[in-house]
A and B are shown apart, each in its own frame.
Chain A
Amino acid sequence: MTDDGRVREFVTAFEGLRAEVEKVIVGHREIINHVLIGLFAGGHVLLEGVPGLGKTLLVKTLSESLELSFSRIQFTPDLMPADIIGTNIIVEDAGGRKHFQFQQGPLFAHVVLADEINRATPKTQSALLEGMQEASVTVGGVSRPLPAPFFVLATQNPIEMEGTYPLPEAQLDRFLLKLRVRYPAIEELNAIIDRTTQSRPIAVERVMSGAKVLTYRELIREVPVAAHVRDFASGIVMATHPQWADAPDVTRRFVRYGASPRGAQALILGAKVRALAEGRYNVSADDLKALAAPALRHRVILNFEGEAEGIDTDTLISQIVDTVESSTSQAREPFVR
Chain B
Amino acid sequence: MTPDPALDRLVRRVSAQVRWRRVEHYALRGFFWASLPAVALLAIKGGVGSLALPIAAALLVLGALLGAAWGALKRTTRADAARLADRAFGLEDRVATALEWAERPDRTPLVDSLVADATARVEALQPRQIVHRILPRETRFLPVPVVIALVLTLAPALPLPSPRLPDFTPGSQEEDKEQRTGSGMLEERSKPESRERLRPPAFEEHEFQARSGASTASTAGDLSAVFKDTALSAQRPDFNSFLKKGDERLKLLEQVDRLPDLASDFTTSQYKMVFRKSKALTGGLRPDQISPQKLKELLEEMERLGRKGGNWSGDVGEGMEALEGGQTDRAMEAMQKALDKMRAQEEAQRAGKGLRGGRDNERGAGSRDRRGGGGEGGGEGEDFGEGEGLLPGKGKSASPKGEASRRLSATPYDVGVEGESRRGRKEGYDTNMTGRGGPMASRLNYLGVIGQYRKLMEDAITREAVPRDYHSQIKDYFQALDER
Q: Do A and B bind each other?
A: yes
Interfacial residues, chain A to chain B (CB-CB below 8 A): 2-4, 7, 219, 222-229, 280-286, 329-330, 333-337
> Which residue numbers of B lie inside 8 Å of A, CB to CB?
18-19, 21-22, 25, 74, 76-77, 79-81, 83-84, 92-94, 96-98, 100-101, 107-114, 116-117, 131-132, 134
Most chain A beta-carbon contacts within 10 A, residue among B84, B96, B116: B96
**B71, closest chain A residue (CB):** A335
Q: Are B25 and A226 in contact, CB atoms less than 8 angstroms apart?
A: no
Chain B neighbourhood of A4, CB < 8 A = 113, 116
Q: Across the interface, do A227 and B100 meet the contact criterion of CB distance under 8 Å?
A: yes
In the assembled complex, 23 residue pairs joining A and B whose CB atoms fall closer than 8 Å, in A order, are A3-B112, A222-B110, A223-B110, A224-B101, A224-B111, A225-B97, A226-B97, A226-B101, A227-B100, A228-B83, A228-B93, A280-B94, A281-B94, A281-B111, A282-B93, A282-B114, A285-B93, A329-B80, A334-B18, A334-B84, A335-B22, A335-B74, A336-B134
Our pick among A219, A282, A283 for the contact of B98 (Cβ within 8 Å) is A282
CB of B172, distance to nearest CB on chain A (Å): 68
Q: Establish whether residues A333 and B131, one from each chain, have CB atoms under 8 Å apart when the complex forms.
A: yes
User: Do A3 and B109 have beta carbons less than 8 Å apart?
Assistant: yes
User: Once the chains bind, are A3 and B96 in contact (CB under 8 Å)?
Assistant: no
What are the residues of chain A within 8 A of B108 when measuring CB–CB? 222-224
Task: Output the nearest chain B residue to A226 by Cβ-Cβ distance.
Answer: B97
A224-B101, A229-B97 known; A281 vs B79 contact (CB < 8 Å):
no
A166 and B276 CA atoms in complex are apart in Å by 71
Given contacts A3-B113, A329-B83, contact A282 B97 (CB under 8 A): yes
* Chain B contacts for A3, CB-based, 8 A: 109-110, 112-113
Contact A224/B97 with A334-B81, A335-B18 known, Cβ cut-off 8 Å: yes
Are A281 and B113 in contact (CB-based, < 8 A)? yes
Chain A residues closer than 8 Å to B107, beta-carbon distance? 224
* With contact pairs A3-B112, A335-B18 given, residues A226 and B92 touching in the complex (Cβ less than 8 Å): no
Give Cα A291–Cα B396 distance, bound, in whole angstroms.
95
The answer to whether residues A284 and B110 also contact, given A225-B97, A226-B97 and a CB cut-off of 8 A, is: no
In the assembly, what is the distance between CA of A187 and CA of B179, in Å? 109
Query: Nearest Cβ in chain A — how far from B433, in angstroms?
Result: 45
Task: State the 3 A-B residue pairs at the shortest beta-carbon distance, nearest first.
Answer: A281-B114, A334-B80, A222-B108
Nearest-CB residue, chain B, relative to A280 = B92
Which residues in B have their C-beta under 8 angstroms from that of A228? 79, 83, 93, 96
Q: Chain B residue with minimal CB distance to A278?
A: B92
Residues of B within 8 A of A335 (CB): 18-19, 21-22, 25, 74, 76, 131, 134
Complex contact B93–A284 (CB within 8 A):
yes
List, in ascending order, chain A residues with CB within 8 A of B93's CB.
Answer: 226, 228-229, 282-285
Within the complex, the shortest CB–CB distance from B67 to chain A, in Å, comes to: 13
Q: Considering only CB atoms, which chain A residue lies closest to B84 in the complex?
A: A334
**Complex Cα–Cα for A334 and B76 (A):** 7
* A229 CA to B93 CA, complexed, in Å: 8
Most buried by B among A3, A4, A219: A3
